[in-house]
Each structure stands twice: as structure tokens, then as C-alpha cells.
Amino acid sequence: MPSSGRTARTVRHVRLPAVETFGIATVSTPIGELVVVSSEEGLARVAFAAVEEVRGEQYRAWGGGSAAEQIGEYFAGERREFDLALDWRHARGFYGSVQRALCDVGFGETVSYAELAARVGRPKAVRAAGTACALNPLPIVVPCHRVLRSDGSLGGYRGGTQAKEFLLELEAGENETGTRRRVLQ
């Protein structure tokens, strides 16, 4: 069991297309190991090592470059936004629109799944917006953890709800009473 206290989950296998060589690196974070994958286009995948296994013959060892560095800075409280080329080739249609819209949800802010659906012009597609968040290939960098249910509760998260809670607390900080601040727009 990971030291973060998450419960065991089924490991999901992610296979990336074999049309190019990907760089792969592991980054240690307070919420567990992250697998960072780069393509010729940019950052292609951020996976939670405890719940996802990224595999394929097309990987080469990679130090993680600026992606690993920026993720480290984020967890150290030194970075509020990422300045990375992102590989959006697999983010198409409605899901791609939602995933791109996530980039507009700023550090320390939260939105509801309903608000996110409305932002991409499909206010009735709340569940589909949730699915787009669940399928986000770049969690943390593309901040799906900043999306909450309309009642303010956490909802799901690929890395586990404890990881989502940690990320929200990291960004929101604590107020003088020691309780987390949340802002629903």
C-alpha cells in the first residue's frame, strides 16, 4: 500500500501508440510516484504509478526535463502554473474541449462540473464533463483536481480522493482557523 494512505486500486494499463519514441521518467511527489511521458510534441502523459501502468516498447529513459522540474516546484509551493508544451493530439471533440478549458481554471480556484460544461458551451453535458476530467491524460498539469461537484464535495479523481484533497489544500492553503478555503464560481 502506498505511503499516502490510499486504498488499493486496480491498476489500469495505458498503452500509447507505437508510432514514435516516448521519453519516460518517474517523479516522486507527496501524493506518490508520478510517471511523466514526453513525446515529440510535448508532455503526453502524467500517470499515477500506484493506479496506472504505462508500458510499451517505444519508451526510452528520460530525466523528466522541465516537466519533472516544474512538477517538483509545484509541490514545493514555488510554482502556480506550468509552462510546458503539451501534446494535445489525443484530446479531441468534446473531451478535448473540456480538457483544454481546465487550463483556464487558475491556481487555488475551483469550478463545478456544471460550470466546466457551461464554459465549453454544453451546459447540459455535466456528466460528460466529468468523464472528460476522468480521462484527462495530464492530471496536475491540466488541473482536473480543481473541479468539484455542484454541492462542493470532491467527486472522483484518478489519483484518489485523498490526492485530490491534498492538491486542493496545497493550492488553497489554510486560513487562520485552519480550515480549507474553497471557491465555487
Secondary structure (DSSP) of 117-175: HHHTT-TT-HHHHHHHHHT-SSTTTS-GGGEE-TTS-----TT-HHHHHHHHHHHH-B-
In eight-state DSSP terms, residue 110 is B
Q: Which of 101, 126, 144, 167 is catalytic?
A: 144
CA-to-CA distance for 69 and 20, rounded, in angstroms?
Answer: 24
Q: Specify the pTM.
A: 0.80
pLDDT in tens, 40-58: 899 999 999 877 776 665 5
Q: Is the pLDDT at 63 greater than 70, yes or no? A: no
pLDDT in tens, 138-150: 999 999 999 999 9
Higher pLDDT, 133 or 16: 133
Give pLDDT, residue 2: 45
**All domains of the chain in start order, with CATH:** 12-75 (no CATH), 93-172 (1.10.10.10)
Residue 133 is among the residues annotated as catalytic for this protein: no
